[in-house]
Amino acid sequence: MGLKAEPMTRVLIVVPKDKVPAATSALYDLQLLHVHDHVEGRDGLALGHPLKGASVASEMLIRLRAMIATLEIPEVTVDMRRPITSLMEELEAKFDHLEHEIETLGDNRNRLRAETRNIEQQMKNLEPYISLGLDLDVYRDYETLEVIVGNLTGDPWKVLRNAKIPFELFKAKDASKTGLFALFIEQDRTDEVRAIIGEFNFTPVPSFEGKGDPRTMRVRLKEKLAKVNSSLEEVELDLKTIRKVHGESLFAAEEHLSIQIEKAESPLRCGSTPNALFVEGWVPTKRMADLEGTLTDAVGDSYHIEVLTDEELTGHSTAAVAADGGEPTSEEEEEAEHFDTSKETPVLSTNPEGFKAYEYLIKLVSTPRYDEIDPALFMYFTFPLFFALMVGDIGYGITFIILGFWMLNSKWKGVGIVTGITRRRLTKMIMMSGLFTIFTGLMYGEFFGLELFGTHGLVWPHYLYVPALDVYLPINRLEQAMLMINLCIYIGIAHMIHGLCLGIVNTNHHHGLKHAILGKFSWILIIIGGYFVFRILFTADEVVMTEPVMMSGLILMITGIIMLIAGEGGGGLLELPGIVSNILSYTRLFAIGLSSLGIAMTFNTLGGIMVSKGGAMIIVGLIVAFLGHFINILLALLAPSLHALRLHYVEWMTKFYTGGGREYEPFGRERIYTEV
Amino acid sequence: MKLNPFRRERRAKVAIRHFAYFNARVLAMRAKLLPKETYPKFLQMGIPELARSLGESEYKVAIEQLGPKYRGVDLVEFSLNRNLATTFHGLIEKAQGELQSLLMDYMRYYDLENITTALRGKLSGISDEDVEEAIIPAGSLTDAQLKRLIEASYDDTMEILRKMGYDEAVDLITDLPLPEVEDHLIKMYYANLLEKTSGGSKNMKMFHHFISIDIDFMNLINFLRLKRDGTPPTKVMEYMMPGGAQLPHKKLKELAGLDMEEILTRIEGLAYFREHQGALTGEKDSLTALEASLLKFQLNYAVREARQNPLSILVVLSYILAKRVEVANIRNIVRGKEGDLPTELIRKQLVL
Amino acid sequence: MVDIGVGYGMIAIAAGLAMGLSALAAAIGEMAIGSAAVGATAEDRDMFGKGLILTVLPETLAIFGLVVAVLLWLKIP
């Protein structure tokens, strides 16, 4: 369940030239075959030619899409699907006329929009001149004078005076803030002056063509803008009317034409000879019969279908190489590179709905390969666990669940990539994590940062001894840091060993058992052995090498290292520090939680102090505490989930996951706006 | 020789985090370049299909805007121009400080190209509207300036150019035929870029290096063309641009005296081709294919260097080169189809 | 209050340094990664998830720092 992708069968369909339109159309409508794009020259086959009609339809589609773009039609939702024959007839009758109308209006709109932008820019350019207050004429048309307008910081005027440069200066009313000025100087000293004011962060203000009082100018520009805007609105209204009347049918026609073209261009994805088309692709094995049935319905028995096996594809299958037990020779590897079944075969995951959120998160890294274990199933349990260990608060857990219910029922559509079905799935994931969080909250005895249980417990100031684990519950995270760090390391070791076990399965499948044991099992030995050795080194008062635990730890570790060197050479040893840091990395389960708890406690204390003052401060205190927790909950959604993900991506998945697979994308698409 | 618009200005050094941001954007853009597999498909398509197919890629906006006005080859060519300009403009807008000013200087190439396009349009009486679409407004000239340039009469153009600071260009234009003017302008452009970027920050140096490689390949292609036409060595050298990285003037002079066979063997010894021994000799007989493969080597070399310096200006420069190559490829395909060239011949021109 | 020796003060300073310096290092790492992530997301919205996760990678440094600081802190009675 979920661990393996849906089994696929690779097929080669050969269709005679005259049956190609019927066959490709049928395949398109079936939406089952994942076409393997033909690369020109492979197997000595040329690329197919597009069918007749593709060019004419393309030409129309270009114009249609231009119309849709001009009308700025957003995605339309329609209740009724239009029958294509009447749709296309109707469209052809009005096409030229409609196109002309839309184009004219569109041109008008673009011109007016440009004009608005232009006027707005002018008004912005005018601003500094209004502040300066001088008439616009005074800035231009001098024989010997140069005018510099701009902003600067500081006081260059003294420098100008010292340099004996004659000048006249006008400062804006708000010059102390903006440093805006107009400077009149002799033309031949311009370079000198520019060099001086350049030292004072001088930025020039664009010049303004115009006459008279700048304020009058502003009024005039405003009037002009209003006029342009009103004609723009008129044009927009006309376009909107067209959009209302024709928008849906344009959209529907776009869909129909696109589908027609996709069908007509399907030979471009296939190999061909003068007499036949070779369609290669994959079908889910259990639906093989559907494929054959559809083709027979479409073209009778004039087609030929063949199931291709791995051996036929690569000459030497990877499995055969693995059975030899030896390294694949470079020649074989090259050939395997030419066609890698595990990479090329499309992946249709079989995860039940509940795991889909994790499938999505895994695909953020990379799509799993066809013959690889899909980690979604395991993440379904470990992700909420890690999340909960970090947050660990009964109150927050309950809040997440309530938030989740609200999200599922709210009309808010979500933002960015988290929309639609993904949003629902991620919401459910958060709710699941909330549930786990309640349990860990009980374990830590925390409720909105307050201690409910334990020695300082508000409700139940006692400990509960769990003999099986030799632990007193609840664990106080602040006071029992060592215990928490140890716990994190145990979890880390367990998780890593689990990852390595999956690695053994994957490697065994790909490269054989020998590789799996030398490359992955060796690490398990090193981790377990290393754990005991380090434990003793760090905690024992006196290190006795001959002690049985120490001895067996050392033996395990050394055996692992020897196996590793045998499998991967000395280079494998370079990863040893990496493994140590991987395991230590799990201490974030404690560290992130500590920061979350810290924030919660701070706001509780802060609120508490205010409430204790009495009076109106009670309300303020409550608000502070509420806001604090609100922020903390948002942070708790972000940081712990990211870190839980990271532990999976970086520490866990690197032990077994290759990725780089291809998603199953069957040829064809669903009609949304039209019907045949 | 100096073009006035190249003023040396001091620009702020660019922080690493800006390169991280900017180069990530550039790499994301590079990922959206058309994949190799597209070209064989384009070769099978008719021009309207090709235009539509382009309209489903990064060229969507351009095709949609020009779709109602143009058909066929014009639609594709003008969309390519428009897309190239918006893409490069976008790059300049996203960049900051020194990076931005270097890119702006690099893009001045299009100013020169646009000036010659406008002049050619005037001389051959092409309508202003068509000239406007043939122009690639990616350089420093604003739309208003370009419009003035296109609409003015020939004599007024000279005046406008002088006002824009292209005095020397005007002097050239009045003395020489247009193709030679073009050649001179490009020489000026490169000489100025090289001068401007000699010394300076690490990125300036990298830019300088990139330009000198550009010059090498431009020289190589011109060199081979001239040699094939049997031009005498001294004449060949007149067309060579000084400042190449691995093929400085002296080395080119040496090569100019040799015969084609010998030249190619020598060229193969350059670092650009080191990892691909024999790749050039196989293409000897056809200069078209040889030119395409030379461009490919330049692109590969640029991409390789960019990969070794992921937080440098080389990333965007290699993207610009790749984008230009993509546009040239599509242009070659539609032009070939328009001229009814056999598919095999068009394919030879493509840089894949 | 009276008996806290210089040694314990040193431990406290060490804990502070362990936390502060490692957080600084993490911040420097995140600066470039974050910029790149924003850049990539600007071109392609699907990069958001990947960018977010890449951005928190260097946070491990700060977490190691925190753990070391806590361990040091526990040495102070």
Are residues A461 and A610 located together in one domain of the fold? Answer: yes
B18 CB neighbours in chain C (<8 A) are 35
Q: What is the mean pLDDT of residues A545-566?
A: 88
Q: CA quadruple A88, A68, B61, A255: dihedral positive or negative?
A: negative
C1 pLDDT exceeds 80?
no
Q: Do residues B64 and B83 lie in contact, with contact meaning Cβ atoms separated by under 8 Å?
A: no
pLDDT band at A414 (very low <50, low <70, confident <90, very high): low
Let me know: does A383 contact A644? Beta carbons within 8 Å: yes
Q: Closest approach of chain B CAs to the CA of A79, in angstroms? A: 27
Flag if B68 and A59 touch (Cβ within 8 Å): no
Buried b (16+ CB within 10 A) or exposed e, C2-19: eeeeeeeeebbeebeebb
| Residue A346 pLDDT > 60 | yes
For chain B, residues classed under CATH 1.20.1690 are 201-312
Q: Tell me the nearest-neighbour CA distance from A659 into chain C, angstroms.
A: 15
**Looking at the predicted structure, is the pLDDT value of residue A146 above 70?**
yes
What dotted CATH number matches C6-74?
1.20.20.10
User: Is pLDDT above 90 for B87?
Assistant: yes
Residue from A37, A39, A49, A59 whose CB has the most chain B CBs within 10 Å, to mutate: A59
A528 with A564, same domain? yes
Confidence of residue A389 (pLDDT cuts 50, 70, 90): very high
CATH class of B201-312: mainly alpha
pLDDT at A415 over 70: no
Give the separation between CA A432 and CA A589, rounded to whole angstroms.
18
Residues A364 and A412 both lie in one domain: yes
Q: Is residue A471 part of a domain?
A: yes
Q: Kindly list the residues from chain A whose CB atom is less than 8 angstroms away from the CB atom of residue B64.
A: 65-66, 69-70
Section B65-75 average pLDDT:
88
Residue A584 forms contact with C (CB below 8 Å): yes
Structural domain of residue A526, as residue ranges? 478-586
Domain boundary among A542, A566, A586: A586
CB–CB of A39 and B37 under 8 A? yes
Q: How confident is the model at residue A394 (pLDDT cuts 50, 70, 90)?
A: very high
Select the more confidently predicted residue: A533 or A469.
A533
Tell me whether residue A52 is in a domain.
no
Per the CB < 8 A criterion, the answer to whether B87 and B323 are in contact is yes
| Residue range B33-94+324-352, CATH number | 1.10.132.50
Which residue from B minimizes the CA distance to C34? Answer: B21
Q: What is the per-residue pLDDT across C54-75, written as a single tens digit (0 to 9) for each? A: 888 898 889 889 888 988 888 8
The ipTM assigned to this model is 0.87
Q: Picking from A103-112, B45-54, B128-137, which range would have the lowest pLDDT averaged per residue? A: B128-137
Which residue of C60, C64, C74 is in closest CB contact with A481?
C74
* Domain-embedded: residue A186: no
pLDDT reading at A464 higher than 80 = no
Q: Is residue B330 predicted with pLDDT exceeding 60?
A: yes
Q: Long-range pairs for A546-553 at CB < 8 Å and ≥24 separation?
A: A553/A528, A553/A529
CA distances from B284 to A102, A123, A189, B260 (A): 54, 62, 63, 9
The answer to whether B223 and B252 have CB atoms below 8 angstroms apart is yes
What are the boundaries of each domain within chain C?
6-74
Do A450 and A510 share a domain, yes or no? no
C-chain residue closest to B15, CA distance: C32
Nearest chain B residue (CA) to C51: B24
Whether the pLDDT of residue B235 is over 90: the answer is no
How many Cβ pairs closer than 8 A exist between chain B and C? 41
Structural domain includes residue A72: no
Poorest-pLDDT segment among A382-396, B129-143, B332-346: B129-143
User: Could you give the residue range(s) of every CATH 1.10.132.50 domain in chain B?
Assistant: 33-94+324-352
DSSP symbols for A457-472: -SSB---EEETTTTEE
Q: What is this structure's pTM?
A: 0.84
Is some CB atom of chain C closer than 8 A to the CB atom of A653?
Answer: no
Tokens of B121: 């349009």
Confidence at residue A333, expressed as pLDDT on a 0 to 100 scale: 41
Residues A74-131 have pLDDT tens digits of: 776 666 788 888 888 888 888 889 999 999 999 999 999 999 998 998 888 888 888 8
Taking a contact as any Cβ pair under 8 Å apart, which residues of chain C between 24 and 53 contact chain A? 45-46, 48-50, 52-53
- Is the Cβ pair A56, B48 closer than 8 Å? yes
Q: What CA–CA distance (Å, rounded) separates A373 from A659?
A: 10
Q: Write out chain A residues lying below 8 Å of C57, CB-based.
A: 646, 650
Beta strands in B287-346 (DSSP E): none
At a CB cut-off of 8 Å and minimum separation 6, what does A151 contact?
A: A128, A178, A179, A180, A181, A201, A202, A203, A205
Nearest neighbour of A588 by CB, restricted to C52, C63, C71 = C63
The 3-state secondary structure of A523-547 reads HHHHHHHHHHHHHHHHHCCCCCCCC
Does A465 lie in the same domain as A522?
Answer: no
Angstrom distance (rounded) from CA A675 to CA B8: 64
Residue C46: which of A422, A457, A504 has the closest Cα?
Answer: A422
Is B55's Cβ below 8 Å from some Cβ in A? yes
| Mean pLDDT on A578-591 | 90
Does A650 contact C57 at a Cβ distance shorter than 8 Å? yes
- Please state the three-class secondary structure of B7-24 as a single string: CCCCCCCCCHHHHHHHHH
Q: Are B343 and A46 in contact (CB under 8 A)?
A: no
pLDDT one-digit tens code per residue, A39-58: 887 778 888 888 888 888 89
Does the structure show a pLDDT above 70 at C26? yes
Q: Which residues pair with A14 in a beta bridge?
A: A278, A304
Share of chain A above pLDDT 90, in %: 23
Q: What is the mean pLDDT of residues B336-342?
A: 90
Q: Whole-number mean pLDDT of chain A?
A: 85
The Cα-based distances of A178 to A151, A201, B66, B111 in angstroms read 7, 12, 44, 36
A472 and A378 together in one domain: yes
> Is the per-residue pLDDT at B8 higher than 70?
no
Minimum CA–CA partner of A364 in chain C: C50
Q: Is residue A148 part of a domain?
A: no
Q: Which of C53, C56, C63 sits opposite A587 (nearest CB)?
A: C63
The more confident residue out of A318 and C5 is C5
**In-domain check, residue A532:** yes
Nearest to A62 among B37, B46, B67 (CB): B67
pLDDT at site A437: 94
What's the rounded Cα separation, in Å, for the pair A224 and A14? 68
| Same domain assignment for residues A409 and A385 | yes
Residues 60-119 in A contacting C (C-alpha not used; CB under 8 Å): none
Per the structure, how many domains does chain A have? 2
- The answer to whether residue A41 sits within a structural domain is no
> Where a domain ends, among A566, A586, A606?
A586
Tokens of A669: 């698409």
Are A361 and A451 found together in one domain?
A: yes
CA gap A102, A112 in Å, rounded: 15
- Say if residues A578 and A526 touch (Cβ distance below 8 Å): no
Residue A550 resides in a domain: yes
**pLDDT reported for residue A322:** 39
> Ramachandran region of residue B306, left (φ > 0), alpha (ψ -120 to 50) or beta?
alpha
